[in-house]
Structure 1
Amino acid sequence: MSDKIKNIVKSEIINLSKEISNEKGQIASKTLAQNDAVSITIFSFSKGEEISTHESNGDALVSVLEGKAKVTIDNKEYLLSKDDSIIMPANHPHSLYAEEDFKMILTVVF
């Protein structure tokens, strides 16, 4: 388990959307950091793909890089587009659904 950022070039300007591609019928992910305090992952969702309702023991910040997604927290739905962000609070049920192909960066703070 690394406590530093990995799987991405450092000391260069990057476009996070280009770090992961959309694949039809799939959800893809690329972990950038993972330790006991934080997890940072880039995701791409094909239209119609979803992560079903679950809970996390950390606050999870979703920031949409491209496309549109429906985020449900405690049975309340939110429609997010490029540049929108929302925090899914720790220990609250939440889910994500791709309204269209979309990419996000997920930062979970434990």
Structure 2
Amino acid sequence: MLGEKMSLSHLVEYQKGAVVSKTLIDKSSGTVTLFAFDEGQGLSEHTAPYDAMVLVIEGLAEVKIEERLFKVEAGETIIMPANKPHALRAPTRFKMLLVMIKS
């Protein structure tokens, strides 16, 4: 995949009742992972030791950071700060790119 043009929305497909992920880059300095969330699926509240940027590619995501709820649509991004509790939920199916920079 390196050095090749690609369409992010076609690299991962929805699966009924599931969250599907595909890691595009996995380095000691960070990761880039593509996700497809079926309607009603999500990631439960957790923390991460690094800032994480979510870029919604398709659909609508609900992103909770601490006690604030954000609706993030296709083409929009949000940064989840390190060490702050956050969660994601799919009110409708959505795809996102997650970028975590560790250093």
Same fold per TM (> 0.5)? Answer: yes
| Alpha-carbon displacement from aligned partner over 1:53-96 (angstroms, at most 9, x marks no partner) | 00000100000000101000011000011001000000000000
Q: Percent identity?
A: 37
Find runs of 4+ consecutive structure 1 residues off by over 4 angstroms: none
Match of 1:22 among 6, 14, 27: 14
Q: What is the CA–CA distance in structure 1 between the aligned matches of 2:65 and 2:84, rounded to whole Å?
A: 7
Q: What stretches of structure 2 of length at least 5 have no aligned partner?
A: none
Q: 2:28 is paired with a residue of what secondary structure?
A: coil
Residue 96 in 1 paired to residue 88 in 2?
yes
Distance 1:75 1:33 in 2: 31
Q: Which sections of structure 1, spanning at least 5 residues, go unmatched?
A: 1-8
Q: Secondary structure at the match of 2:9?
A: helix
TM-score, structure 1 length as denominator? Answer: 0.89
Aligned partner (choices 52, 69, 85) of residue 44 of structure 2: 52
Deviation at 1:32, TM superposition (A): 1.1
* 1:108 maps onto 2:100 in alignment: yes
Q: Distance in 1 between matches of 2:24 and 2:3?
A: 15
Q: In structure 1, what is the Cα distance between the partners aligned to 2:3 and 2:98?
A: 21
Match of 2:28 in 1: 36
Q: CA–CA distance in 1 between the matches of 2:84 and 2:27? A: 21
